[in-house]
Amino acid sequence: MEQYRRNASQRTLCLRAALNSAYHKPEKLTPLFSKRNGKLPDALAS
């Protein structure tokens, strides 16, 4: 369980760094969040 939390935390830190490093258009943000959450945002799923 500890390894899972460590990996999740590391992925979140990488995502945060990617988001804060530059401006991103909305169509570029969707894949980043989908990768983190494992699914499309609710607004785009339909």
Per residue in 3-43, pLDDT (tens digit) is: 999 988 898 888 888 888 888 888 888 777 777 676 666 65
pLDDT, position 3 = 92
Residue 44 phi, psi (nearest 5): -105, -10
- Smallest CA-to-CA distance from 36 within 7, 2, 45 is with 7
Determine the Cα–Cα distance for residues 28 and 32; give it in Å rounded to an integer.
Answer: 7
Helical H runs in 1-46?
A: 2-20, 26-37, 42-45
pLDDT above 70 (res 46): no
Q: Print burial letters for 11-33: b (CB count within 10 Å at least 16), e (below 16).
A: eeeeeeeeeeeeeeeeeeeeeee
